[in-house]
């Protein structure tokens, strides 16, 4: 075992941030030389067990690298392991892990969640005492949410900006890969490496990749900032609202022009719309894990139905809940009332953002309505309360907009608070520019 692997194992023993650790990660030459990269479990890494946090994929070692992995290897990255997550990305606190897997703990306070679903990624980004960047994934907020709970930066690009080839699908129309890091320089560097067209992903955008590092130093004088006023009100922890207000003040001090913006449709229907679409897509994606071509193969005895039932029983409760709801909302007879309607609301949400971006360059709100919750508090949440935690993050994800969570200080208990910044499609540079001023 090499020294880096020993360090990672030591951290992991205390915090359960990894599902798989490479015993001898080595780095090559290139822009990521000497930088350790952790990879969320749902991103395929050749010959490394890749389970998307689910027991149903036990023993699955991909025979290929995801496009993002190919790209970081070319730049000399040392891949240290696969980070813990809610199974298939289903959750906001990384407590919905696969059967037999461990729940990651927040390095800031071990009695609290790292957030989810990219909990392990955010945890190791905070805990690593060596140069490190995480590759994470977001469907509805899984990069920025955990980043905010752990006090690191989380960056989610425009949908299609980074190839999804080799990412295990949660919801194909929503999934994005993006980095987490301690500094904006590392975020910009990683985005320069992983962004760009890939003919292996039919939703990949054929657009040039800008020099994100250069954007870091651009002034924000005259930049128009829209404050999502309603996201500071009811249901939002007062200390979180105060810290984010301090962050906004910093932007104003540097010449940004503030105005209030309201997104009534997104605020009212975003969570419902997101969960209908995400679950509908997830339920079709999970159909393939039947133990025939994909998924763990149980001993074959009894009838086909018994075999199928035993295999599908490996899914955890949250995965089963989503298969049932997702199948229901797209069933003949219900499809028009739920799934089709949700897709129409999604278009209205996109229009609402597009209108807002005629008036402002970025939108600002808290990332999560509260700081990292204790595991004992999460146990008391109903599934509905669990889903409501994503109220600020589902909007930009439904609209495919780039967004970032930046730490803006700690509350009185020393727990980190994150501020969410959203920009228009392909305006990642604006987020680099603003992020670096915080």
Q: Which residues are catalytic?
A: 40, 117, 142
Point out which residues bind ligand GLN (CB under 6 A): 89-92, 117, 138-142, 170, 278, 390
What CA–CA distance (Å, rounded) separates 47 from 289?
20
Own/partner long-range contacts of 201-207 (Cβ < 8 Å, ≥24 apart): 201/67, 201/160, 201/163, 201/164, 201/165, 203/159, 203/160, 203/164, 203/172, 204/160, 204/163, 204/164, 205/158, 205/160, 205/161, 205/426, 207/161, 207/426
Closer CB to ligand GLN, residue 198 or residue 390?
390
| DSSP β-bridge partners for residue 363 | 226, 422
Helices (H), 129-263: 144-150, 184-194, 212-215, 238-253
- Burial of 300 from C-beta contacts in 10 A (0-12 / 13-18 / 19+): exposed
What CA–CA distance (Å, rounded) separates 85 from 41?
7
Q: Determine if the peptide bond prior to 117 is cis (ω within 30°).
A: yes
What CA–CA distance (Å, rounded) separates 71 from 360?
34
405: closest CA among 201, 115, 202, 204? 115
Q: How far is CA 72 from the centre of its chain?
A: 19
Which tokens hold the place of 228?
Answer: 């999502």
Distances in Å between the alpha carbon of 219 and those of 96, 186, 225, 238? 42, 19, 14, 30
Which residue has 């995480």 as its token pair?
A: 134
Work out how close the CB of 140 gets to ligand GLN at its nearest, in angstroms, rounded to a whole number: 3
What CA–CA distance (Å, rounded) separates 61 from 264?
45
Which tokens hold the place of 280?
Answer: 């509908």
Work out how close the CB of 377 gets to ligand GLN at its nearest, in angstroms, rounded to a whole number: 16
Work out how close the CB of 147 gets to ligand GLN at its nearest, in angstroms, rounded to a whole number: 12
Closer CB to ligand GLN, residue 117 or residue 148?
117
The alpha carbon torsion through 13, 16, 17, 22 (nearest 10 deg) reads 50
Closer CB to ligand GLN, residue 107 or residue 141?
141
Closer CB to ligand GLN, residue 12 or residue 139?
139
What CA–CA distance (Å, rounded) separates 130 from 152?
15
């Amino acid at each position: 075992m090499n020294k880096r692997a020993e360090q990672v194992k030591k951290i992991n023993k205390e915090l359960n941030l990894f599902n798989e650790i490479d015993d001898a990660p080595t780095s090559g030459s290139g822009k990521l030389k000497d930088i350790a990269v952790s990879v969320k479990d749902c991103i395929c890494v050749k010959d490394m067990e890749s389970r998307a946090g689910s027991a149903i994929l036990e023993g699955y070692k991909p025979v290929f690298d995801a496009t993002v992995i190919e790209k970081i290897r070319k730049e000399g990255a040392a891949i240290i392991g696969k980070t813990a997550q809610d199974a298939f990305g289903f959750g906001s606190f990384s407590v919905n892990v696969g059967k037999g897997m461990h729940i990651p703990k927040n390095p800031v306070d071990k009695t609290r969640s790292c957030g989810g679903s990219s909990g392990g990624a955010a945890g190791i980004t905070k805990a690593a005492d060596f140069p490190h960047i995480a590759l994470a994934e977001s469907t509805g907020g899984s990069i920025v949410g955990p980043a905010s709970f752990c006090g690191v930066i989380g960056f989610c690009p425009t949908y299609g900006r980074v190839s999804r080839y080799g990412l295990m699908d949660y919801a194909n129309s929503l999934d994005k890969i993006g980095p987490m890091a301690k500094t904006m320089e590392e975020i910009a560097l990683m985005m320069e490496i992983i962004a760009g067209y890939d003919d292996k992903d039919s939703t990949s955008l054929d657009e040039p990749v800008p020099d994100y590092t250069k954007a870091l130093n651009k002034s924000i004088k005259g930049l128009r900032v829209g404050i999502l006023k309603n996201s500071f009100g009811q249901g939002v922890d007062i200390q979180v609202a105060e810290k984010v207000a301090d962050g906004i003040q910093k932007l104003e001090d540097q010449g940004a022009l503030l105005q209030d913006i309201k997104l009534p449709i997104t605020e009212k229907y975003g969570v419902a719309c997101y969960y209908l679409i995400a679950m509908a897509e997830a339920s079709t994606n999970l159909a393939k894990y039947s133990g025939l071509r994909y998924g763990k193969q149980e001993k074959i005895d009894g009838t086909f139905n018994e075999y199928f039932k035993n295999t599908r029983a490996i899914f955890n409760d949250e995965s089963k809940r989503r298969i049932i709801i997702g199948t229901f909302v797209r069933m003949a007879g219900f499809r028009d009332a739920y799934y089709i309607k949700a897709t129409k609301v999604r278009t209205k949400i996109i229009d609402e953002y597009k209108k807002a971006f005629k008036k402002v360059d970025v939108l600002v709100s808290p990332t999560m309505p509260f700081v990292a919750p204790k595991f004992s508090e999460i146990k008391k949440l109903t599934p509905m309360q669990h889903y409501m935690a994503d109220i600020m993050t589902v909007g930009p994800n439904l609209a495919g907009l780039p967004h970032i969570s930046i730490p803006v200080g700690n509350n009185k208990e020393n727990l980190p608070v994150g501020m969410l910044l959203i920009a228009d499609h392909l305006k990642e540079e604006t987020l680099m520019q603003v992020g670096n001023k915080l």
